[in-house]
Structure 1
Amino acid sequence: MKTSPRITSIVKATTLDTTSLGFQTFNLSKLNLETELHFQLPTNLRLGHLAEKVVSELIKASTNYKVLYENIQILDDKQTIGEIDFIIEELKTKQLIHLELAYKFYLFDPTISSIPMHNWIGPNRNDSLKEKLEKLKRKQFPLLYHSCAKSTFETINIDEVSQALCLLVSLFIPYKYKGSFSPTYEKAIKGYYLNFELFTKLDNSEKTYYLPSKKAWGIEPSENKLWTDFTNIEKHIHTKIQEKQAPLCWQKHGESYITFFIVWW
């Protein structure tokens, strides 16, 4: 995986406006970056930690913010009770911000609830936007005010620290879904999802495919150079479906590229 497309994908990722959900929103566009960044990324990190590493480097490279703390584990009697992603400082105002970061891919299942926000789930149905926000509200942000945190951050006044969420999302809706979304979610929709049976019906000889590893999710498919036909990709998809894993698929059709999930449910 090339480092530059991975960095670009994070810089250009859609930040979900979480103001109406009870969180101050931190958008990466707030960072003043004078040059295009190039830095090495570790190869052994999972997707979420890759995103954290990129955002850390972006903040450090900016001219208007600096990182004071990052990935700080809060210990209570030698037991880890949680981790704080970042405490950053806006250089001009000296404002301190406890920043939590998440990089997520959610699919919209309209059958779950009459409340649209509750219908965004992980590709394998084992997490959701609703659960993520509840965890942030119940555990992540209150962690700053835990008695053990105050001893960890002795150099700053906890009471003067504001809190913000940078929630980078890629959203996917059912194939040919006709429902409408609020602008907050609409701008984050990157593609659709469908089941394997429908996927096979939509194939034709002009289309080629690639299944990126999870570390490459969010990268523009036009960056990819390796493509294969349906026959060669089918068995890989079938195996993932059998394992109840919903793969992300890139499709190339002429000079057109699309991204979608193939779900097992």
Structure 2
Amino acid sequence: MSALDEFYQWITTSQNLIEPHDIFCDLRTLNPSPLANNAVYNGNRRLGFIYQHLCTQAFVNSPNYQVLAEEIQLSEQGRTLGAIDLIVRNRQEQRNEHWEVAIKFYLLHNGNWFGPNAHDQLETKLPRMLTHQLAMSNTSQFQQQHPELEVATHHLLMQGRLYINPFNSEPTPTHCLEYPLNSSQISGHWCHYSQAHQIQETLYELPKIRWATGKELNATIVEPNPERFIHAQTESGQFWFVVPDVWPGRNA
């Protein structure tokens, strides 16, 4: 099975970082068919673009949905307002749905969840997706540009993994803002470079397309680097981020 196939399978079977409720959903009910045997991806190689493409394919391959539009750019008087990820038709419910999708990896530090790039934080990303990105299908600009795509419901799919530092004594939050975190997704470990000698297993570096699914058979052994973060997995399957000692810097 290719890395693309494994990633697609992971997306269609994994849970949301936030406990399922109201707009927080996942794709496990889509029952999509597998990717075509000759499926390839030739777009932007950034992980988020590959992820959104595969989410779209899951809807395309579901008997219960039809993709009406994707990556709708909205603007007003030449100013870009943003982009809507997906508008899909729920054939069973006979309604149009707006879906925003994101894959995120966050590390707990001093009570907050930081991305490996510490400028990205769950505490700011989540409300932006809820109050800005999902709200764009309610704007007059969207309704004027796409009157045929009247949206009935809104859904946020945020998948990935949450990481805690086993070498620090810090309580793990149960919520982000007022939203309950899905405890099953708090499954990764992280540490600073100066703590990495305490990791008792060999680390195998993960290319980005395997950040979610894990290492392949011929994965490359990696030593922590004081100048950059690494994302790796051990032989036993544990996911690890090892970050420079200066991380997260002034964002802490």
| TM-score between the two structures when normalised by the length of structure 1 | 0.80
Residue number in structure 2 paired with 1:129 = 122
User: How far apart are the structure 1 equivalents of 2:170 and 2:118?
Assistant: 22
Q: Among residues 229, 234, 239, which one is paired with 1:251 in the alignment?
A: 234
Per-residue CA deviation, residues 75-103 of structure 1 (Å, 9 max, x unaligned), is 22233210000111110221211111111
Q: Residue 18 and residue 149 in structure 1: after superposition, are their counterparts in 2 closer, same or farther (change >3 A)?
A: farther
Partner in structure 2 of residue 27 of structure 1: 26
Change in Cα spacing, 1:104 to 1:136, as seen in structure 2 (3 Å) is same
CA drift at 1:180: 5.2
- The CA distance in 1 between the partners of 2:161 and 2:71, in whole Å, is 24
CA-to-partner distance for each residue in 1:184-238, whole Å, 9 max, x for gaps? 43200222111222212435xxx443222333311222x341333xxxx33xx32
Partner of 2:188: 191
Q: CA deviation at 1:43?
A: 5.7
Matches for 1:144-159 after TM superposition, within 5 Å: 144-158=137-151
Give unmatched runs, 5+ long, in structure 1: 113-118
Q: 1:27 to 1:202 in 2, by over 3 A?
A: closer
Distance across 2 between alignment mates of 1:201 and 1:184: 28
Cross-structure match for 1:164: 155
Name the counterpart of 1:116: none
What's 2:177 paired with? none
Q: Residues 1-265 of structure 1: matches in 2 within 5 Å?
A: 2-17=3-18, 24-33=23-32, 35-38=33-36, 39-42=39-42, 44-109=44-109, 111-112=110-111, 119-158=112-151, 161-175=152-166, 179=171, 182=174, 184-203=181-200, 207-221=201-215, 223-228=216-221, 233-234=222-223, 237-238=224-225, 241-242=226-227, 245-252=228-235, 256-264=236-244, 265=247
Percent identical: 24
The structure with the largest alpha-carbon Rg is 1
Q: CA deviation at 1:139?
A: 1.7
Cα distance in 2 for residues equivalent to 1:260 and 1:132: 22
Distance in 1, Cα, partners of 2:99 & 2:129? 11
In structure 2, relative to structure 1, the CA distance for the partners of 1:195 and 1:51 (3 Å cut) is same
- Further displaced range: 135-144 or 78-87: 135-144
Equivalent residue letter for 1:220: G
Evaluate the alpha carbon distance shift between residue 7 and residue 218 of structure 1 in structure 2; reply closer, same or farther with a 3 A threshold: same
- C-alpha RMSD over aligned residues: 2.3
Q: Which runs of 5+ in 2 are unaligned?
A: 175-179, 248-252
Q: Deviations over 1:59-89 (max 9, x none)?
A: 0100111111111101222332100001111
Check whether the contact 1:108–1:120 (CA below 8 A) recurs between aligned residues: yes
